[in-house]
Chain A
Amino acid sequence: MPETPERNAIEVRGVSKVFGFGPDKVVALDDVHVAIRENEFFTLLGPSGCGKTTLLRLIAGFDFPTDGEILLHGQDIAPLPPHKRPVNTVFQSYALFPHLTVAKNISFGLEMLGRPKDEVDARVDEMLKLVRMEELRNRSTAQISGGQQQRVALARALAPQPKVLLLDEPLSALDYKLRKEMQIELKRLQHETGITFIFVTHDQEEALTMSARIAVMSAGNILQIGSPEAIYDRPAVRFVADFIGETNFLEGSIEERAAGGARVRISSGAVIDASVAEGFQPSGRVTVVVRPEHARLSAEGGQLAGRLSNIVYFGTDTHFHVELDGGGEFIVRRQNARDDRGTARIGDPVSIVIGAGAAQVLRD
């Protein structure tokens, strides 16, 4: 098989991980394939327990795959113990050494690599500057705040200039404002260092704003890999559409097939033209998804009809909950404009216009 010309930092090939035996067996990863490009900000996104940490631990070498192989720059890293892998980790709990100062934590990796002292000192200074912690270099790690600990953990992992940096939910312990700040900081660091970042989160908004590409995981499987736009606009399966952003689900059955699309009769009797994901041959009962911001309310002429049941104001936008005539609920989101507040009232009969190409038929 010909090699792809593009350089992959990490390639995970058919990796499975099973914990335990017999009835207690847990399949944490099930035949996972993913290629992460060099200098990429790559995110593993998925709900709790889907196997994100397990995949990171396999890449770092803290645990071994039950099956499959992991390549680093094309080399199988299975024979390498963790301390021989040019991969560093930022742990969810930070795992800073409590008996060492901030500076000594940062220099730990370089010292273990046996780098000369002046090089270590210079690099520690550089790292302290990079994460803006110069004043706290001689503090004990027990005497700094959560956000500062987070930055020390980052500096410590970046100092040895790893080929790949693994970040396991590094921001989940921070409060909202600090998290937003650190998201920007992380993107800056990734850009400045040019190191491949594999970032784990269960926060879909964090994944969308930070990543070059996202892999959405569920129950040990990767369901879709793609850019934030691709994942959001063209979810491959129902789970992805449901997990990322808000989505309206309409149940229906295929009325007619066309190239790249289908005509679907939904349970209320209305007929909707929807696109179909590549390589999917829908038949019988299907689910159609529509993002709330891809539909609008109108007095008449839409594909769906119903009655306004609730209006929720969110500052930047407003959500209109519509009780559909044939049963079920549909949410329409509208960006708020200064001089247009709308005149809709709860209880009004409304019609919903679904934008061209906004409806998609998804596989479950």
Chain B
Amino acid sequence: MASGRSNFSIRHQPGFTTVAVLCFALLYLPIVTLVVFAFNAGRSVAIWEGFSLRWFEAAWNNERVIEASIRSVQIASVAAVVATIAATMAALATTRTRPYRGLTFKYAFINQPLMIPEIVTAVALLIVFARIKVATGYSGLGYLIVAHTAFCIPFAYLPIRARLESMDLTLETAAADLYATPWKVFTRVTLPLLWPGIIAGLMLAFVISLDDVVITEFVKSGGQDTLPTYMLGQLRRLVTPEMNAISTVFLLISILIVTVFFFISRRST
């Protein structure tokens, strides 16, 4: 074909621009509004009464917010690290092997948590953990950490497996040829090349855990609110711009994580 004009281009179809603008507006306008009203001087989340940082200050001085934030980060850190290690091993086991009968089934099995409705998992965990609690008497953060780790694994698994599949296997053969023991092949060649995938998996798992409401709400014991479940509880009672302020900080942290990840992955390719 001689010119680009003769190719099919979705951008030149009638209505495309309207749909695109509408989608972006629906996505981003509420978030912009939310951020704007975090800086409202009044108590309303709908009527602008002037600029102020009072709600950030209020959130910062709210012990329960800080406590829930710390708990969220604790759970997310442990869950993300453990899930990423498990996902890395799973990805190595499912890609560094000749295809065999049942491999597809295994992929599905690992990714199952992505397909099962979260509420079902939540109820199931609630029932199982309740029994264990009665049997052992333990009611610490362990349950939340285990639950978060479990549902984070498929998220960590996806980018790691993608990276492994795009990796040239002859590099590992070449390392073995150059006197590297299997362990050295792994630490000196496979792992460094896999690193961007692992970082991606880790961050994805971290964000997913930080964000979870449904499973946490079901599994947590009394006084184990994470930031999202705390916010949900507050919103049921009264809505003040303090929620906007917390959400804004949450948003900033997410953007920061994504940006850091972007630079890490760009540097290594």
Contact = CB atoms under 8 A, between A and B. Distances in A.
A95 B192 CA distance: 15
A112 B174 contact: no
Contacts of B181: 83, 112
Interface stretch (A85-93, A195-203, A332-340): A85-93
Contact of B170 (A95, A109, A112): A95
A108 interface: yes
A98 B188 CA distance: 12
A160 B178 contact: yes
A99 interface: yes
B180 A97 contact: no
Interface size class of A (residues with CB under 8 A): 20 to 34
B177 A60 contact: yes
Contacts, number: 59
B258 interface: no
A93 B170 contact: yes
A108 B175 contact: yes
B173 A88 contact: no
A127 to B, nearest CB: 13
* Secondary structure of the A contact surface, majority rule: mixed
A97 B182 CA distance: 16
Q: Considering residues A88, A97, A160, which has the most beta carbons from chain B within 10 angstroms of its beta carbon? A: A97
A93 B173 CA distance: 12
B168 A82 contact: no
Contacts of B173: 62, 82, 91, 95
Contacts of B189: 97
Nearest to B179: A112
Contacts of A98: 171, 193
A81 B170 CA distance: 16
B178 A91 contact: no
A91 B175 CA distance: 12
B171 A108 contact: no
Contact of A109 (B179, B182, B192, B268): B179
Given A89-B174, A108-B178, A95 B193 contact: no
Contacts of A109: 178-179
A89 B173 CA distance: 10
Contacts of B171: 95, 97-98
Interface string A54-97: 00000010100000000000000000011110011101010101
A163 interface: no
A82 B175 CA distance: 9
Given A97-B189, A98-B193, A99-B193, A83 B170 contact: no
Given A95-B168, A95-B171, A99-B192, A88 B178 contact: yes
Nearest to A109: B178
Contacts of A87: 177
6 contacts: A88-B178, A91-B174, A95-B174, A108-B178, A109-B179, A157-B178
Interface of A: 60, 62, 81-84, 87-89, 91, 93, 95, 97-99, 108-109, 112-113, 156-157, 160
Interface of B: 168, 170-171, 173-182, 184, 188-189, 192-193, 268
